[in-house]
Amino acid sequence: MFGIVRPCSHRLTEGLKTEWMAHLCGLCLALRSDHGQLARVVTNYDGLIVSVLTEAQAERSTGRRRTAGPCPLRAMRTAPVAQGEGARLAAAVSLVLASAKVRDHVADRDGLLGRKPVAVAARRIARSWDRAGARTGASLGFDTAVLVDAVDRQGGIEALAGPGTSLLTVTEPTETATAAAFAHTAVLAGKPHNAAPLAEAGRLFGRLAHLLDAVEDRETDAASGAWNPLDATGTDLVEARRLADDAVHDIRLALREVDFVDGRLAHVLLAHELTQSVNRSFRTTECGHAHDTEHQASYGPYGQPPQHGGNPYGFPPEPPRPQPRGFFAGCAAFLGLCCTCKMCCADEYEGPWSRKKREGCCNDCDCDCSCCEVCQCCECCECLSCASC
């Protein structure tokens, strides 16, 4: 639920960190204001990018921020938060896609959702989120039917996929949905000429999100017998990494065509932070296009292979991952994390639904923060690593 773009505080300047938190809180409060308290559980890091893109293209106005009251996620501090059409579009998109996720869990009878009374309640919530997202989208001129259609087509595509099927065939519905959401930010900002490059950036972002989710869940899916696009299509990690690196590179190229008023935060999230997301998912510190040609010739782009058997990609073995929580158990865990401020301030916490380890969004880290943060062009980043910027 929380997305692939999770910037560490050391990689954001203080000003950009404040802006990022303003959009995150703005999405959460837009969900509450338009759709009630329960809707806040669909707040996610990737959804706020829609809000960021809308604001990055628009001329600066005095009404784009408001001061929100104390919140447990901000250690009971007030803060400026984003408001307006960008936050509302992000809320609509998040609701519709979360609704699809709930229906998918119900169909798979995951956890508590395998029990009929719980499944009935979950379907009712999903239908209400669908309607609410559609109403908000319509008020902004955005037809959420394109998102619903993409989700509905996903199951049929997965059922037909097999060895030899292109992985990009499987990721196409996600690409279509995110392309539509990204493109509509240009309409809201009054810059329709930005729609084409933003649609391309959104399409590639959707591909990357789907791909990295498949990489991170591969071992868990194999253990539980769940469907995974990499195993189903016979795509190995080398090819998956190539597709991921190419997607990040092409997102950067698409962003260069966008007419931004202030694109610094959008650039950091969609260029530099996506590189970090790829490295995190593949458990590497460098991109797939290695700098050292001699080293690459000897060991390939993923480093020296293990000397005594084991994973052929050189990844360290991991302990078994805990099983994901069901929808309602995850909601309860989410509320507990909110009330204890762990999402904001903890060194590490367990994701409420996925149970994956996450860093607190305000937690300091030991990362190498020498990379450029706000450069607009990235001409020097030919291999997607920003160490030379």
Q: What is the pLDDT of residues 124-162, one digit of tens each?
A: 988 899 899 999 999 999 999 999 899 889 889 999 999
For residue 353, the model assigns a pLDDT of 72
Average pLDDT, the chain: 80
Per residue in 74-90, pLDDT tens?
A: 778 888 899 999 999 99
Segment 272-288 shows an average pLDDT of 82
For residue 256, the model assigns a pLDDT of 96
Which of 105-114, 120-129, 208-217, 298-307 is predicted with the least confidence, judged by mean pLDDT? 298-307
pLDDT band at 378 (very low <50, low <70, confident <90, very high): very low
334 or 102, which is more confident? Answer: 102
Per residue in 19-60, pLDDT tens?
A: 999 999 999 999 998 888 888 989 988 999 999 999 999 988
For residue 311, the model assigns a pLDDT of 37
pLDDT band at 244 (very low <50, low <70, confident <90, very high): very high
For residue 165, the model assigns a pLDDT of 94
For residue 270, the model assigns a pLDDT of 94
Which of 42-56, 60-74, 203-217, 271-285 is predicted with the least confidence, judged by mean pLDDT? 60-74
Q: Is the pLDDT of residue 387 over 80?
A: no
284 or 177, which is more confident? Answer: 177
Segment 343-362 shows an average pLDDT of 68
For residue 305, the model assigns a pLDDT of 37
For residue 362, the model assigns a pLDDT of 53
Residues 53 and 266 sit within 8 Å (Cβ to Cβ): yes
Per residue in 168-184, pLDDT tens?
A: 999 999 999 999 999 99
Q: Is the pLDDT of residue 380 over 50?
A: no
